[in-house]
A = this chain, B = another copy of it.
Amino acid sequence: MNDAAAKPSAARSAVVLLSGGLDSATTAAWAAQAGFRLAALSIDYGQRHRVELDAARAVAHALGITDHVVLPIDLAAFGGSALVDAAIPVPKGRDEAAIAAGIPATYVPARNTVFLALALAMAETRAAEAIVLGVNAIDYSGYPDCRPEFVAAFEAVAALATKAGVEGRPTRILAPLQTLTKAEIIRMGLGLGLDYGLTTSCYDPAGTGAPCGGCDSCLLRAAGFAAAGAADPRIDPARWA
């Protein structure tokens, strides 16, 4: 899959939002396979699970993405989420019904709107025709800004917001995982040769990067690997010994 990403003469280019998690890594691998020349954007937004930025760098390297911007922005200045505010605990040990039932404490206000807006700015400076985003509305955490109608509404904003849009080249928002289950996503990534050991999903990892195993994200990931009939290289105990 590095072949497509590395082609310097590829006509199509895209900016991929790369968190270092399973979904965005799969999305990036999909886009590289689809022939896009990729630039990657990762956001250092004060998340307590900052090990994911190291994971994002590892995934970018594995996919041959050299134009990778890690942009610091202090969303913690606004407060209001367990992911950026150490005073709010990360929920642990919830079942899938509880995870799906409501908007959890790990919700970061307007996060995907902020990330897409920044990706749009980056896409315009690179004349990229698309933004690729790993949102998923099936096995997800109840975040409103992962829904297909949200993505469609943002695409309408993108078409109106930019010089490229005015000139008839609106930026498309591609969300290839939108309707896939977590197991289907994992099977797709494995088929693309992606090493999920490079990715991290835990909201509350140890200092070593070892996943906690109990947060919503760890539980959704474990259920996905189980349903896909695959082993998760990230949770190999030998790795964290």
Using a CB–CB cutoff of 8 Å, the interface residues on chain A facing chain B are 69, 71-75, 77-80, 103, 107-114, 116-118, 120-122, 124-125, 144-145, 147, 149-150, 153-154, 156-158, 160-163, 165-166
B150 and A78 within 8 A (CB) = no
Chain B residue at smallest Cβ distance from A159: B153
Q: Point out the residues of chain B lying under 8 angstroms from A154, CB to CB.
A: 157
15 additional A-B residue pairs with CB within 8 Å, beyond A80-B124, A110-B120, A144-B166: A72-B74, A78-B121, A109-B124, A109-B125, A110-B118, A112-B161, A113-B121, A113-B157, A113-B161, A114-B114, A114-B121, A144-B161, A149-B160, A153-B157, A153-B160
Q: Point out the residues of chain B lying under 8 angstroms from A122, CB to CB.
A: 78, 109
Q: Point out the residues of chain B lying under 8 angstroms from A78, CB to CB.
A: 69, 121-122, 125
**From residue A5, how far is it (CB to closest CB) to chain B in Å?**
20
B144 and A150 within 8 A (CB) = no
A161 and B157 within 8 A (CB) = no
Q: Point out the residues of chain B lying under 8 angstroms from A153, CB to CB.
A: 153, 156-157, 160-161
A121 and B166 within 8 A (CB) = no
A145 and B161 within 8 A (CB) = yes
**From residue A30, how far is it (CB to closest CB) to chain B in Å?**
24
